[in-house]
């Protein structure tokens, strides 16, 4: 019995991503076949409707490759709209269906000879977009004809087609002498867009060929010759904005022969600074700065000259454009703040600007502050503290603090910061406390005024970890000036288990110790509670610090005071978060995304444009370390079962990784209620057990007296590695799969190491000096992956290491497997020590 009509309609109305499958595509195919070759009136309109339906299906991901032949048959028309849709369809399916792409060659070559230049250009572009290596022989003729076409549009398409041909088959492009034809066209074509396309194609082709061909290297250098540079500069006003940026990028690489040539070029480009397009202005500024880099006085005059155009651009146009320009202005301000100090009012924030623009302006206001303008800038920043945009209010408070740390008008700024504490806004109080802590570290003389206000703040109203840590630091550092300091700390220690932040718990330990040395009777009980809680803490750093303080007190309270609470000197300079090398790299990449991201390109670009870090499916894409080539047999072809051994070990080990408390720590934790405190592998000898018990009684800890360490305990010999260790890739893979994970750690990488990783292979040579050999490496910036191995000098025990370095976060993930598990910690220390010294020399 047939289903009811309603049920039939439900079945036929399937989702757009999956129409009723073969039925609709088959109907389209049948209708297209009926219209193929038809010359009836209105047939083109019918074809348009069918073509639109095919393109819409293709756009939403439905496979309509089955109508390929019908689409080609229907392409015999003079309707340019139908031609465009057909070319779009063919270009989409040609690469995945190379056999079907062969069907399109005849009609595309025929259209390349059409009378309409628009159709000729579209057909040539589609022919070059097939991206099928087997069909490159069919491109040579149409491309040669396109370069000589009377239409500038066809010549433009032909030039870009040659570049596409080069990426498909470089040898075919070079053998057909297309680069020479492009050079001739670049020098003689009257159409500027054709010239610009030729320049772009030649730069890309010769740059790629320069590494293997001396002739290509000479041709690439010839693009920077004086006659060619002046030829482009004299015609630059005729070019489009995109083409002008291309030419200016080329001029920025040119090295003038003398100073007079520098001034000639700048005079030719002077009017480009008034251009309405921001990209042209920025490209021109880059040329000016590159040309005058060795001319100090002129370079400073360039800064003065470019201020007005940049400030004008930053205050016009969309917010996105303003941000891009402001990012470049921000870079210049940070390099030469004094030159912009008189223009500080241009950096005031407007109420309708987005947060990312305001944040940049706040950083520039901080940089340009000096004795003459500090009052006005700080007054403006204080207005932003009441802003409804909380992140901007926070940044404003930080900006005020930074200006104070630059020693400008400190007296007035401290008064303003103390007024912020009266606003009774949690985020304002939190940021202000952090800044007051930094100010007291640099200006201890202001402690009386600040502590009088800070002491009245209730710790219950401070919830943010950094602010709470700052408050605790001040309570410990100035315990003698805050009457309730011991009791405030005691209340916080009672809530130890509720405190999630390890930073706060660390500060509580230190503040309790400092308070104990200044006010012992009031702090005795709370210090004991803090040490007991800290020793039982699961966080490695908190546990270690509590244990250190306890043992210091066991040894000598006077020495403990000298260690924990020594006389302090004022901090003169706070560390910069970004190294000068990184800043110089960003400046060298002016007029690029590096300036917008505020990091060098190697930290965020990926050569293959694959996005997140990943390894290829083929092990062969991992390069064998240079030191391994001379000592091991060539890498074997990996079996199918082993192919992903070095490529995706992280997921395999997650289920069997040893619990390391997040940092590879395996020392036993001490339970204050169950046994002796000193229960570590490397416990020191206790010289006076009675003194130890006295400390326990004083602090109320109740720990048993530690047993003296045996005097004859053997000291393990230092680990020595074999400088000539050998292991073949097959054995490495087998061991890596079979051995359990010994250690998993995350360590910080120094800025010098990150900068040195611009040439990732340099790390291999550095580690080799430390008898640690690389067997495979790979990846793209910002992530690099290395596999190392080492062997003991006295036996054949092997250590295997996977090291993933992220240059963006400056961190390294290290996983170690070892034949001898007991030596893993010693080897880890050697490996991390070697890694930390990379880039230092």
Q: Compute how many other C-beta atoms are within 10 angstroms of the C-beta atom of residue 518.
A: 18
pLDDT score, position 172: 92
User: How does pLDDT run across 601-614, given as a tens digit for each residue?
Assistant: 888 876 543 333 33
CB 436 within 8 Å of CB 417: yes
How far is the C-alpha of 283 from the C-alpha of 538, rounded, in Å?
55
Task: State whether the Cα torsion 187-189-192-197 is positive or negative.
Answer: negative
Average pLDDT score over residue span 500-520: 91
Q: Tell me the CA distances in angstroms from 806 to 612, 621, 645, 765, 809, one per residue in order.
A: 11, 19, 21, 19, 6
CB 327 within 8 Å of CB 360: yes
Residue 181 pLDDT more than 90?
A: yes
Of 604, 592, 625, 597, which Cα lies nearest the Cα of 780?
604
State in Å, rounded, how far the first CA of the chain is from the last one.
Answer: 86
How far is the C-alpha of 511 from the C-alpha of 517, rounded, in Å?
10
CB 446 within 8 Å of CB 416: no
Residue 639 pLDDT more than 70?
A: no
pLDDT category of residue 114 using cuts at 50, 70 and 90: confident
User: Bigger pLDDT: 623 or 707?
Assistant: 707
User: How does pLDDT run across 52-88, given as a tens digit for each residue?
Assistant: 888 888 888 888 888 888 887 777 777 788 888 888 8
Mean pLDDT over each residue of the chain, to the nearest integer: 80
User: How does pLDDT run across 666-693, given as a tens digit for each residue?
Assistant: 333 434 333 333 333 333 333 445 555 5
How far is the C-alpha of 499 from the C-alpha of 505, rounded, in Å?
7
How far is the C-alpha of 774 from the C-alpha of 629, rounded, in Å?
10
Residue 804 pLDDT more than 70?
A: yes
User: Bigger pLDDT: 20 or 492?
Assistant: 492
Average pLDDT score over residue span 106-133: 88
What dihedral do alpha carbons 451, 453, 455, 461 form, nearest 10°? -130
Average pLDDT score over residue span 197-222: 91
Residue 653 pLDDT more than 90?
A: no
User: How does pLDDT run across 83-97, given as a tens digit for each residue?
Assistant: 888 888 888 888 777
User: How does pLDDT run across 401-424, given as a tens digit for each residue?
Assistant: 888 888 766 778 888 888 888 887
pLDDT score, position 613: 34
pLDDT score, position 509: 94
pLDDT score, position 194: 95
Please spell the DSSP secondary structure of 705-772, one letter per residue: PPPPPPTTPPPPPPP-B-TT----HHHHHHHHHHSPP-EEEEEE--HHHHHHTTSTTHHHHHHHHTT-
Q: Tell me the CA distances in angstroms from 314 to 63, 308, 349, one per residue in order.
A: 47, 10, 12
Peptide bond into 458 cis (omega under 30): no
How far is the C-alpha of 462 from the C-alpha of 126, rounded, in Å?
65
pLDDT score, position 701: 64
Q: What is the pTM of this model?
A: 0.66
pLDDT score, position 677: 36
Of 9, 55, 1, 61, which Cα lies nearest the Cα of 32?
55
Average pLDDT score over residue span 109-129: 89
pLDDT score, position 839: 80
Percent pLDDT > 70 in the chain is: 83
CB 763 within 8 Å of CB 772: no
801: helix, strand or coil: strand
pLDDT score, position 152: 93
Please spell the DSSP secondary structure of 436-496, one letter per residue: HHHHHHH-GGGHHHHHHHHTTS-GGG--SHHHHHHHHHHHHHTTTT-TTHHHHHHHHHHTG
pLDDT score, position 170: 92
pLDDT score, position 482: 84
Enumerate residues 6+ apart whose C-beta is below 8 A from 786.
763, 764, 774, 776, 777, 801, 802, 803, 804, 805
pLDDT score, position 98: 79
CB 473 within 8 Å of CB 455: no
User: How does pLDDT run across 514-557, given as a tens digit for each residue?
Assistant: 999 988 888 888 999 999 999 998 899 999 999 999 999 999 98
Please spell the DSSP secondary structure of 70-129, one letter per residue: HHHHTT-SS-HHHHHHHHHHHHHHTTT-HHHHGGGHHHHHHHTT-SSHHHHHHHHHHHHT
How far is the C-alpha of 670 from the C-alpha of 679, rounded, in Å?
7
pLDDT category of residue 284 using cuts at 50, 70 and 90: very high
* Partners of residue 798 on adjacent β-strands: 791
Q: Which two tokens stand for residue 24?
A: 């609709």
pLDDT score, position 700: 65
Residue 146 pLDDT more than 90?
A: yes
pLDDT score, position 64: 85
* Partners of residue 744 on adjacent β-strands: 815
pLDDT score, position 323: 92
User: How does pLDDT run across 750-785, given as a tens digit for each residue?
Assistant: 888 888 887 767 888 888 888 899 988 887 777 888
Residue 18 pLDDT more than 50?
A: no
Residue 131 pLDDT more than 90?
A: no
CB 75 within 8 Å of CB 86: yes
pLDDT score, position 19: 46
Question: If you search the block for the tokens 């690099």, which residue do you land on?
Answer: 784
pLDDT category of residue 1 using cuts at 50, 70 and 90: very low
Please spell the DSSP secondary structure of 569-604, one letter per residue: PPP--PPPSS-HHHHHHHHHT-SSHHHHHTS-GGGT
């Amino acid at each position: 019995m047939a289903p009811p009509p309603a049920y039939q309609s439900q079945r036929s109305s399937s989702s757009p991503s999956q129409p009723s499958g073969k039925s609709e595509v088959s109907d389209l195919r049948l209708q297209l076949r009926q219209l193929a070759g038809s010359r009836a009136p209105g047939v083109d309109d019918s074809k348009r409707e069918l073509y639109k339906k095919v393109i819409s299906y293709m756009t939403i991901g439905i496979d309509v490759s089955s109508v390929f032949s019908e689409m080609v048959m229907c392409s015999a028309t003079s309707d340019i709209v139908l031609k465009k849709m057909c070319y779009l369809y063919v270009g989409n399916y040609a690469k995945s269906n190379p056999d079907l792409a062969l069907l399109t060659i005849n009609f595309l070559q025929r259209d390349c000879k059409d009378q309409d230049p628009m159709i000729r250009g579209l057909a040539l572009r589609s022919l070059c977009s097939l991206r099928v290596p087997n069909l490159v022989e069919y491109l040579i003729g149409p491309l040669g004809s396109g370069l000589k076409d009377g239409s500038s549009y066809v010549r433009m398409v032909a030039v870009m087609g040659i570049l596409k041909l080069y990426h498909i088959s470089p040898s075919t492009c070079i053998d057909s002498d297309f680069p020479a034809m492009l050079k001739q066209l670049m020098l003689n074509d009257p159409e500027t867009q054709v010239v610009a396309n030729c320049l772009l194609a030649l730069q890309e082709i010769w740059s790629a060929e320069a590494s293997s061909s001396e002739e290509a290297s000479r041709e690439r250098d010839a693009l920077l010759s004086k006659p060619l540079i002046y030829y482009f500069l004299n015609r630059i006003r005729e070019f489009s904005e995109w083409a002008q940026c291309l030419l200016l990028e080329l001029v920025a690489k040119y090295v003038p022969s003398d100073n007079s040539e520098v001034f000639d070029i700048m005079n030719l480009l002077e009017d480009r600074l008034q251009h309405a397009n921001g990209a042209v202005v920025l490209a021109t500024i880059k040329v000016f700065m590159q040309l005058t880099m060795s001319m100090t006085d002129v370079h400073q005059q360039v800064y003065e000259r470019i201020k007005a155009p940049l400030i004008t651009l930053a205050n016009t146009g969309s917010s996105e454009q303003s941000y891009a320009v402001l990012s470049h202005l921000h870079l210049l301000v940070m390099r030469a703040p004094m030159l912009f100090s008189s223009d500080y009012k241009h950096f005031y924030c407007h109420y309708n600007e987005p947060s990312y623009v305001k944040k940049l302006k706040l950083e520039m206001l901080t940089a340009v502050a000096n004795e003459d303008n500090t009052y006005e800038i700080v007054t403006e920043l204080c207005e932003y503290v009441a802003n409804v945009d909380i992140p901007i209010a926070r940044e404003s408070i930080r900006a005020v603090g930074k200006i104070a740390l630059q020693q400008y008008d400190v007296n007035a700024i401290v008064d303003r910061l103390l007024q912020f504490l009266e606003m009774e806004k949690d985020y304002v109080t939190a940021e202000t406390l952090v800044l007051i802590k930094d100010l007291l570290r640099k200006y201890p003389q202001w402690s009386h005024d600040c502590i009088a206000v800070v002491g009245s703040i209730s710790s219950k109203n401070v919830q943010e970890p950094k602010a709470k840590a700052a408050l605790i630091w001040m309570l410990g550092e100035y315990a003698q000036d805050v009457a309730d300091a011991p009791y405030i700390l005691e209340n916080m220690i009672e809530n130890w288990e509720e405190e999630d932040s390890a930073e706060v718990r660390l500060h509580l330990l230190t503040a309790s110790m400092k308070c104990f040395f200044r006010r012992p009777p009031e702090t005795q009980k709370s210090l004991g509670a803090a040490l007991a809680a800290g020793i039982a803490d699961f966080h490695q750093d908190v546990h270690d610090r509590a244990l250190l303080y306890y043992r210091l007190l066991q040894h000598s309270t006077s020495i403990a005071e000298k260690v924990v609470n020594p006389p302090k000197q004022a901090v003169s300079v706070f560390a910069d978060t970004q190294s000068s090398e990184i800043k110089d790299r960003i400046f060298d990449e002016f007029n690029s995304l590096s300036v917008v991201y505020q990091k060098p390109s190697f930290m965020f670009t990926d050569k293959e444009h694959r996005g997140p870090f990943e390894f290829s499916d083929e092990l062969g894409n991992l390069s064998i370390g240079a030191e391994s080539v001379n000592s091991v047999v060539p890498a074997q072809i990996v079996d199918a079962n082993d192919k992903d051994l070095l490529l995706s070990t992280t997921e395999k080990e997650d289920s069997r990784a040893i619990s390391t408390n997040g940092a590879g720590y395996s020392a036993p934790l001490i339970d204050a209620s169950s046994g002796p405190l000193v229960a570590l592998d490397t416990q020191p000898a206790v010289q006076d057990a009675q003194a130890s018990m006295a400390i326990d009684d004083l602090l109320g800890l109740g720990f048993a007296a530690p047993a003296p360490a045996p005097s004859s305990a053997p000291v393990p010999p230092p680990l020595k590695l074999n400088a000539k260790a050998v292991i073949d890739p097959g054995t490495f893979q087998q061991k890596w799969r079979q051995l359990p994970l010994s250690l998993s750690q995350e360590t910080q990488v120094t800025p010098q190491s990150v900068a040195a990783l611009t040439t990732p292979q340099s790390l291999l040579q550095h580690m080799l000096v430390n008898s640690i050999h690389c067997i495979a490496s790979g990846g793209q910036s910002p992530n690099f992956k290395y596999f190392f191995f080492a062997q003991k000098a006295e036996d054949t025990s092997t250590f295997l290491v996977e090291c993933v370095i992220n240059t963006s976060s400056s961190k390294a993930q290290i996983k170690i497997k070892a034949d001898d598990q007991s030596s893993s910690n010693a080897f880890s220390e050697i490996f991390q020590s070697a890694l930390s010294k990379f880039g230092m020399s």
